[in-house]
A and B are shown apart, each in its own frame.
Chain A
Amino acid sequence: MPNMNPKKMDMPLQDPNVRNKNFDEVALGYTLEQAMEEADRCLQCKHKPCMNGCPVAVDIPGFIGKVKDGDMEAAYKIIKETSSLPAVCGRVCPQESQCEEKCVRGIKHESVGIGRLERFVADYHIANGSTDVVIPTSNGHKVAIVGAGPAGLTCAGDIANKGYDVTIFEALHKAGGVLVYGIPEFRLPKAIVQKEIDGLKAIGVKVETNMVIGKVLEIDELFEMGYESIFIGSGAGLPNFMNLEGENLKGVFSANEYLTRFNLMKAYETGVDTPIFKAKRAAIIGGGNVAMDAARCAKRVGCEEVYIVYRRGMDELPARREEVEHAEEEGIIFKTLTNPVRILGDENGNCIGMECVEMELGEADDSGRRRPVIKEGSNFVMDIDCMIMSIGTSPNPLILSTTDGLDANKWGCLIADEDGKTSREGVYAGGDAVTGAATVILAMGAGKDAAKAMDEYIQSK
Chain B
Amino acid sequence: MFKIVEREELNPTVTKLVIEAPLIAKKANPGQFIIVRTHELGERIPLTIADYDREKGTITIIFQIVGKTTRLLNELKVNECVLDFVGPLGVASHITGMKRVCVVGGGVGCAIAYPTAKGLHDNGVEVTTIAGFRNKDLVILEDEFKAVSTNFHLMSDDGSAGTKGLVTNVLEDLLSNGEQFDEVIAIGPLVMMKFVCMVTKKYNVKTVVSMNPIMIDGTGMCGGCRLSVGGKTKFACVDGPDFDGHLVDFDEAMSRSRQYADFEQHEREDNCNLLHKEVA
> A-side interface residues toward B, CB under 8 Å?
171-173, 181, 209-212, 215-217, 237-239, 241, 243, 247-250, 253-254, 256-257, 260-261, 264-266, 269, 271-275, 277, 348-349, 396-398
A349 in contact with B216 (CB, 8 Å): no
Answer whether A248 and B256 are a contact pair too, CB < 8 Å, given A171-B217, A237-B220, A273-B43: yes
A398 in contact with B222 (CB, 8 Å): no
Give every chain A residue within 8 A of B23 (Cβ-Cβ): 211, 216-217
Answer whether A171 and B255 are a contact pair too, CB < 8 Å, given A273-B42, A398-B238: no
Q: Tell which of B41, B87, B219, B222 touches A271, judged by Cβ atoms closer than 8 Å.
A: B41
Tell me how far the C-beta of A147 lies from the nearest C-beta in chain B, rounded to whole angstroms. 11
Q: Is B84 among interface residues, defined by CB-CB distance under 8 A?
A: yes
Answer whether A215 and B223 are a contact pair too, CB < 8 Å, given A247-B233, A248-B228, A349-B252: no
B24 in contact with A216 (CB, 8 Å): yes
A241 in contact with B223 (CB, 8 Å): yes
Instruction: Determine the distance from Cα of A349 to Cα of B219 in the docked complex, in whole angstroms.
Output: 25
B220 in contact with A260 (CB, 8 Å): no
A238 in contact with B24 (CB, 8 Å): no
B43 in contact with A265 (CB, 8 Å): yes
Residue ID in chain B nearest A257 by CB atoms: B222
A172 in contact with B252 (CB, 8 Å): no
11 additional A-B pairs beyond A181-B221, A349-B251, beta carbons within 8 Å, are A173-B44, A210-B84, A212-B87, A217-B23, A237-B219, A250-B256, A250-B258, A265-B43, A273-B43, A275-B260, A277-B259
Give every chain A residue within 8 A of B223 (Cβ-Cβ): 238-239, 241, 253-254, 256-257
Answer whether A237 and B221 are a contact pair too, CB < 8 Å, given A248-B256, A250-B259, A275-B263: yes
A265 in contact with B216 (CB, 8 Å): yes
B233 in contact with A248 (CB, 8 Å): yes
Q: How large is the interface on B (under 10, 10 to 19, 20 to 34, 35 or more residues)?
A: 35 or more
Residue ID in chain B nearest A273 by CB atoms: B43
Answer whether A272 and B87 are a contact pair too, CB < 8 Å, given A237-B220, A241-B233: no
Instruction: Determine the distance from Cα of A224 to Cα of B263 in the docked complex, in whole angstroms.
Output: 46
> B-side interface residues toward A, CB under 8 Å?
23-24, 27, 37, 41-44, 68-69, 83-89, 216-224, 226-228, 233, 238, 251-252, 255-256, 258-260, 263-264, 267
Residue ID in chain A nearest B226 by CB atoms: A248
Give every chain A residue within 8 A of B233 (Cβ-Cβ): 241, 243, 247-248
Answer whether A216 and B87 are a contact pair too, CB < 8 Å, given A272-B41, A277-B259: yes
Residue ID in chain B nearest A250 by CB atoms: B259
A348 in contact with B255 (CB, 8 Å): yes
Interface centre among B44, B83, B223, B263 (most CB of A within 10 A): B223
Instruction: Determine the distance from Cα of A38 to Cα of B5 in the docked complex, in whole angstroms.
Output: 61
Tell me how far the C-beta of A263 lies from the nearest C-beta in chain B, rounded to whole angstroms. 11
Tell me how far the C-beta of A412 lies from the nearest C-beta in chain B, rounded to whole angstroms. 11
Give every chain B residue within 8 A of A396 (Cβ-Cβ): 219-221
Secondary structure type dominating chain A contacts: loop
A261 in contact with B216 (CB, 8 Å): yes
Answer whether A239 and B222 are a contact pair too, CB < 8 Å, given A173-B84, A275-B260: yes
Answer whether A260 and B221 are a contact pair too, CB < 8 Å, given A215-B88, A265-B216, A349-B252: yes
Q: Tell which of B27, B224, B252, B255 touches A215, judged by Cβ atoms closer than 8 Å.
A: B27
Tell me how far the C-beta of B253 lies from the nearest C-beta in chain A, rounded to whole angstroms. 9
Q: Tell which of B24, B84, B221, B226 touches A209, judged by Cβ atoms closer than 8 Å.
A: B84
A274 in contact with B43 (CB, 8 Å): yes
A239 in contact with B41 (CB, 8 Å): no
Give every chain B residue within 8 A of A248 (Cβ-Cβ): 226-228, 233, 252, 256
Answer whether A349 and B256 are a contact pair too, CB < 8 Å, given A173-B83, A247-B233, A396-B220: yes
Residue ID in chain A nearest B217 by CB atoms: A172
Residue ID in chain B nearest A264 by CB atoms: B216
Give every chain B residue within 8 A of A241 (Cβ-Cβ): 223, 226, 233
Tell me how far the C-beta of B66 lies from the nearest C-beta in chain A, rounded to whole angstroms. 13
Instruction: Determine the distance from Cα of A254 to Cα of B259 in the docked complex, in whole angstroms.
Output: 14
Identify the 7 closest CB pairs spanning chains A and B, nearest first: A349-B255, A257-B222, A275-B263, A254-B223, A237-B221, A274-B43, A275-B260
Tell me how far the C-beta of B74 lies from the nearest C-beta in chain A, rounded to whole angstroms. 15
Instruction: Determine the distance from Cα of A260 to Cα of B222 in the docked complex, in whole angstroms.
Output: 8
Instruction: Determine the distance from Cα of A396 to Cα of B89 in the docked complex, in whole angstroms.
Output: 14
Instruction: Determine the distance from Cα of A173 to Cα of B39 in the docked complex, in whole angstroms.
Output: 11
Give every chain B residue within 8 A of A398 (Cβ-Cβ): 219-220, 238
Tell me how far the C-beta of B226 lies from the nearest C-beta in chain A, rounded to whole angstroms. 6
Instruction: Determine the distance from Cα of A407 to Cα of B226 in the docked complex, in whole angstroms.
Output: 28
Tell me how far the C-beta of A172 lies from the nearest C-beta in chain B, rounded to whole angstroms. 6
Tell me how far the C-beta of A90 lies from the nearest C-beta in chain B, rounded to whole angstroms. 27
Instruction: Determine the distance from Cα of A269 to Cα of B87 in the docked complex, in whole angstroms.
Output: 27
Q: Tell which of B84, B88, B228 touches A216, judged by Cβ atoms closer than 8 Å.
A: B88
Tell me how far the C-beta of A159 lies from the nearest C-beta in chain B, rounded to whole angstroms. 24
Tell me how far the C-beta of B43 lies from the nearest C-beta in chain A, rounded to whole angstroms. 4
Answer whether A171 and B219 are a contact pair too, CB < 8 Å, given A210-B84, A248-B233: yes
Jot down 12 A-B pairs with beta carbons below 8 A, ordered by A: A215-B89, A215-B219, A241-B226, A248-B228, A253-B223, A254-B222, A265-B44, A272-B41, A273-B69, A274-B43, A349-B252, A397-B220
Instruction: Determine the distance from Cα of A257 to Cα of B235 in the docked complex, in whole angstroms.
Output: 13
Residue ID in chain B nearest A243 by CB atoms: B233
Instruction: Determine the distance from Cα of A235 to Cα of B41 in the docked complex, in whole angstroms.
Output: 25
Tell me how far the C-beta of A177 lies from the nearest C-beta in chain B, rounded to whole angstroms. 11
Instruction: Determine the distance from Cα of A256 to Cα of B69 in the docked complex, in whole angstroms.
Output: 22
Give every chain B residue within 8 A of A275 (Cβ-Cβ): 43, 260, 263-264
A273 in contact with B68 (CB, 8 Å): yes
Interface centre among B219, B238, B252, B267 (most CB of A within 10 A): B219
Give every chain B residue within 8 A of A237 (Cβ-Cβ): 217, 219-221
Tell me how far the C-beta of A308 lies from the nearest C-beta in chain B, rounded to whole angstroms. 20
A215 in contact with B68 (CB, 8 Å): no
B85 in contact with A210 (CB, 8 Å): yes
Tell me how far the C-beta of B158 lies from the nearest C-beta in chain A, rounded to whole angstroms. 30
Give every chain A residue within 8 A of B220 (Cβ-Cβ): 237-238, 396-398
Give every chain A residue within 8 A of B86 (Cβ-Cβ): 171, 173, 210-212, 216
